[in-house]
Structure 1
Amino acid sequence: MNIFDIYLDKILILIKKLSNEGTLVLPENLNGINVDIPPSNFDCDISTNVAMVLSKINKKAPIDIAKTLVDLIKSADDEIETISVVKPGFINIKFKSVYWNNFIKSINQNHIDFGVNTKEKKRKYLVEFVSANPTGPLHVGHCRGAILGDVISNLLIFNKHDVSKEYYVNDYGNQIINFTKSVYYRAREIVYNEKFPIENSELYPGDYLIEIAKNIIATNKKLKFDKFEDISKKLTLLSVAESLKLIKSNLSNLGITHDKFTSETEIIFNKEVEKVIEKLKEKNLVYQGKIKAPKSENDENWIEREQLLFKATDFGDDKDRALQKSDKSWTYFASDVAYHNNKLNRGHDVLINILGADHAGYIKRITSVVEALSGDKNKLICKVSQLVKLIKEGKPFKMSKRKGDYITVEDLISEVGKDATRFIMLNRSSDVELDFDFAKVKEKSKDNPLYYVQYCFARISSVYRHVGLDINKDLDITKFDFKYSIDEIKILKKVAEWPKCIEAASLRLEPHRIPVYLYELSSEFHSYWNMGKDDSNKRFINDKKIISNDKLVFLKIISNVIRAGMNIVGVATPEKM
């Protein structure tokens, strides 16, 4: 039950009726009309801007149009207690208490779908996220993007979309050659007792390579580590496979499972780069040309070379992009174009890429080529996951993957747990940097949002447990003639905002809105709970150890919303704390 959509529909029906009668003129597009959450300083439940949207085309002041509408709106709805107009023309509506009885009855009976955007067209999404080079375990730098991609996927699934989660395995190129060489030298260190060439800056020095080498040696008895060139191809396959095992284990411990892993090597060996280049040629979108030196480069050192270029500037990019180097080898961009063409060929309505902060400059070129291939400007959506600053003992905690002393996802999970990692990483918008303070995420206080939300659910569970009821079972209460207090209605109004939160988070792909909402709802509940210390009327269990049906239903719908939100975020709702 989305009270905002319900009243928006009522208002649209009313103004269309007035338009048919010749009383009002309507613009062609009514999308600007909304029913929203009013500011907290107004004593009302919902607010609409309809009068302001209609003002210009009707050549009347918004406040005059609002005064015309208020009586008509109220006369058509016997659940409205008061309706008022405030400058510059907002119409504010306050409901009778009986309205909240009907509201709570509806969402108790249909709690599974409460919050789902039923008006939204259901689509087929492919969400690509993490896609870290398969050269070792995931570190904290990958963690935020992994959680962002997973929760966006969960959010879309909650809203009944068809979603596939994908990991693109960059298992081709120089970084893979260097990674394989690193495994090779670790294997020789084990087999021949040779010293690992730590002075070679191209190699990966992390200790995890020792475990990878040991696993390969143990499962490939006939493999000889005499000459790298003789075993490089097989060793690459084995090394990447071992690294992916680590990565999948890291993701599993974060609560993340991908539906598909797509290999860059397979894309290239299947000649998909050549195929997509031909497709672009047929569209007259590639040519032989030279790229001028970037402004940041010294013009004297820049050498202009004849290259195969994609006409990215035709689609809003600042320059055309190289697909082939002067030596005729393909650029990384070319294989990425082929991969995105592969995605398009699978028939998804929308592609979503979750990118790290260092890839923000890559967005325009890849969205340009997807538009060129699909003919749809909005086919690909890129979301950037900004950096995470780790704070330990009040000081920045730095990491370095090349040195092998970086903090892995496993380190973080073992320190604070999966739930804290997911919830706190998601607690701010992905487009701003995040401070992850180890000490604060362990606090058992209001300052720790995860604890505060989980504690809310645990408190509700304790009431149910105290009267011998199971919080996980549906309530079979059909008679609703309760009357909720002002303080309880305040919480119900927050519950009513849940569909609005889901709608905004889904349409804008901003899942941080969910933990923020859950924290606000939990804060309202804890405040009410604490009132019971001084006012026995506000206690859920009376002196006879009985809880009334109205209180049972009230608690149940709060717990259902918290559980739904925490399921999307991917964290637990413990019944005891």
Structure 2
Amino acid sequence: MNIFNDVKEIVLGAVAALQAAGTLPADLDASRVTVEPPRDPEHGDMATNAALVLAKPAGLAPRALAEALVRSLAQAPGISEVSVAGPGFINLRLQPALWQASVGAILRLGTAYGASSMGAGERVNVEFVSANPTGPMHVGHGRGAVFGDALAALLTKAGYAVTREYYVNDAGAQVDALARALHARYRVARGALSEEGFQALLAERAIEYGGDYLIPAAEALAAAEGDRWLDQPESAWLAPLRDFAIDRMMELIREDLALLGVHHDVFTSERALVRAGRVERLLGDLEERDLVYVGVLEPPKGKVPEDWEPRPQTLFRATRYGDEVDRPLRKSDGSWTYFASDIAYHADKVERGFFNLINVLGADHGGYVKRLSAAVKAVSDDKGSLDVKLIQLVKLLDNGEPVKMSKRAGTFITLREVVEAVGKDVVRFIMLTRRNDATLDFDYARVTETTRENPVFYVQYAHARACSVRRHATEAFAGRDLSPATLAATCDVARLGAPEELALIRLLAGWPRLVESAAEAHEPHRVAFYLADLAAAFHGLWNRGNEHAELRFLLPDDEATSLARLALVQAVATVIASGLEIFGVHPKEEMR
């Protein structure tokens, strides 16, 4: 049930009536007609742009058409008031019964309330995390993981067929550096190098990835291979140790993701694509279409790097698809650029039937967006779309003070440390309380405090309070069937007529529309904002009951009103649980 869609059907019915009467052309396109909340609630419950978007193609003045629609809408069931505003907006007020019916619908549908057919089963590929397999996940990776997972769940609820994908960047120089660090750790494990010697080697050779997380991998390698690689040249051990290190690091990453409650449907290896010749094949196809050529790029705008020199390069015609410059596909040593592999990877997605692509990337990839979008257009013959969601940094604090780096990771705080400190649900919820492109402060002290300033506590407390009302109702009305289905069928929702109750019902009725709009915009943080508003409205009604006895949820001497209010409370708990389900957060029934 989506009350906004229901009212839109009423508006379209009024349009159809005018078409039947000959006032409007029979072939008029009404696809742009919308029904939305008005900017100012004082103007009504809903507003429609029907007259504004239909007047010109119908050859009528917008206000004249609006007045004709108003005359028809005034007779529609459930509409209590309708008026014209400005150049032709139509404001509507609904009869309370139309809102109150939402309570029964929520109880009948449970957490499926809000689910939509908007996506019509369209396949969507959401690629997220895709952290280099060089160590455990840090907090920034965690934010991208939560965002991508919640976005996938949101799109699923909106009716899309979603695949969660992880792209393993295992073919670049960073995994060679990882293999060198593992070899040094392996030498320590075999007693061929002291810890002091290891640290000196890191500094001398500028070896990355020196955190303690490599120790278990090195010990496992030492146990499996003995001294096999101690005296061998790098050319002998680099490839096998690289493969070993990547496998071990991906195990570590999968463990971190599982701890956060994140699971991917597909893991795609860059290394496997390269080894299978997918890059060469793809670039050959693009060359046949005159999208690859050898040319010389202009120097970068602004200050020219000292090592820049004009030279012929293999280039992709990214400018043909909206990029500022064409992009190199080969490095000076003849190997493929990262971008060349990325084009092949996105072509692979398209070949698998995905034309609606979403990539969740770190904020440092901002300069990469246009070339990726150009690549998707090229490999899909302009049939594909790519939305890149950039994830800003997470500032990890404790009582406002920056948290020190982790010895285990070497240079950052691991995601595992944060989850173990505050719990999966807290991490997931807090990561979604800001837009993805805004920096997020994650303060250990604040996210665990029991005040309304902590959004996860405030929302969970609302759900727990609703469960508490249900427990008290079970005692007060012993023997009565208080199941959601029975309440939906038997309670008198017309008794929910207090302004505060109707305001809460309107908020509940807006949940399906919120799901659709958040899914369409690819913005799961809207769910967090909505849940905070819903919790505030519910807590407010609870507090009003403390101040005014007649507004309490359970009235011992008025069973009918109590059951109607219990239905409302159950509806609140159900919608909160529906929203937390998208976030992968378990709703609490008690706060301890």
Please tell me the TM-score bracket, short chain as reference.
over 0.9
- Matched ranges for 1:323-362 at <5 A: 323-362=329-368
Matched, 1:198 2:202: yes
- 1:177 matched residue in structure 2: 176
Matched, 1:576 2:590: yes
Residue 565 (structure 2) aligned to one of 543, 551, 560: 551
Whether the 8 Å contact between 2:5 and 2:35 is mirrored in structure 1 is yes
AA matched with 1:206: G
State the AA in 2 paired with 1:409. L
Runs of 4+ in 1 over 6 A off after TM superposition: 400-403, 469-472, 544-547
The correspondence of residues 23-422 of structure 1 with structure 2, limited to 5 A, is: 23-24=23-24, 29-39=29-39, 41-42=41-42, 44-57=44-57, 62-77=62-77, 79-194=78-193, 195-196=197-198, 197-199=201-203, 200-221=205-226, 223-227=228-232, 228-298=234-304, 301-376=307-382, 378-397=384-403, 404-422=410-428
Deviations 1:9-59 (A, max 9, x none): 221232133134332369955343211112454163222222333444566
Q: Is residue 479 from structure 1 mapped to residue 485 from structure 2 by the alignment?
A: no
Aligned amino acid, residue 212 of structure 2: D
Give, as a single letter, the amino acid of the residue that structure 2 aligns with 1:504.
S
Q: 1:334 to 1:217 in 2, by over 3 A?
A: same
Q: Distance between the aligned counterparts of 1:133 and 1:225, measured in 2?
A: 27
Cα deviation for residue 112 of structure 1 reads 4.6
1:13 paired with 2:13, answer yes
**Paired residue for 1:2?**
2
Judging changes above 3 Å, is the alpha-carbon distance between structure 1 residues 534 and 495 closer, same or farther for their aligned structure 2 residues? same
Q: For the structure 1 residues 545 and 236, does the alpha-carbon distance in structure 2 shift closer, same or farther, using more than 3 Å as the test?
A: farther
Match of 1:500 among 513, 517, 536: 513
For 1:41 and 1:364, locate their aligned partners in 2 and report how far apart those are by CA, in whole Å.
40
How many angstroms does 1:271 deviate by? 0.7
| Match runs of 1:419-438 below 5 Å | 419-438=425-444
Deviations 1:141-192 (A, max 9, x none): 2121111111111111222322111111111121111111101101111212
1:519-552 deviation digits (Å, cap 9, x = unpaired) = 1011100000011112222212224696832122
Could you list the per-position Cα deviations for residues 39-91 of structure 1 after superposition, in whole angstroms to 9, with x for gaps in the alignment? 454163222222333444566654443333222102132x2222233334332
Cα distance in 1 between the residues matched to 2:3 and 2:117: 13
Give the C-alpha shift of residue 452 in structure 1. Answer: 0.7
Q: Give the conservation status (yes or no) of the 8 Å contact 1:204–1:402.
A: no
TM-score by length of 1: 0.93
User: Letter of the aligned partner of 1:73 in structure 2?
Assistant: L
Unaligned runs of 5+ in 1: none
The Cα shift of 1:220 comes to: 4.2
Instruction: Work out the CA distance in 1 between the residues paired with 2:407 and 2:357.
Output: 30
Asked if the contact 2:28/2:57 (under 8 Å) is kept, the reply is no
SS of structure 2 residue aligned to 1:164? strand
CA distance in 1, matches of 2:382, 2:371: 15
C-alpha spacing 1:300/1:519, structure 2 compared with 1 (3 Å): closer
C-alpha separation between the residues in 1 aligned to 2:231 and 2:484?
Answer: 66
Check whether the contact 2:112–2:578 (CA below 8 A) recurs between aligned residues: no
Q: CA deviation at 1:476?
A: 2.0
What is the aligned-residue RMSD (CA, Å)? 2.5
Give the 3 Å change call, closer, same or farther, for CA 58–451 of structure 1 in structure 2.
same
Question: How far did residue 445 of structure 1 move?
Answer: 1.1
Which has a greater percent of helix? 2
**CA displacement 1:466-497 (0-9 Å, x = unmatched):** 23389996432323543212211110100111
Deviates more, 1:43-52 or 1:467-476: 467-476
What secondary structure, in the 3-state scheme, does the structure 2 residue paired with 1:371 have? helix
1:108 deviates by 2.4
2:567 counterpart letter in structure 1: V
Q: Which amino acid aligns with 2:184?
A: Y
Look up the equivalent residue of 1:553 and give its one-letter code.
A
Shift, 1:322, TM fit: 0.9
1:532 maps to which residue? 545
Name the % identity. Answer: 39
Which one is further off, 562-571 or 397-406? 397-406
Task: Give the Cα separation in 2 of the matches to 1:553 and 1:219.
Answer: 62
With over 3 angstroms needed to count, the CA separation of the structure-2 counterparts of 1:471 and 1:138, relative to structure 1, is farther
Choose which of 497, 501, 504 in structure 2 pairs with 1:491: 504
Structure number with the bigger relative contact order (C-alpha 8 A, sep ≥ 6) is 2
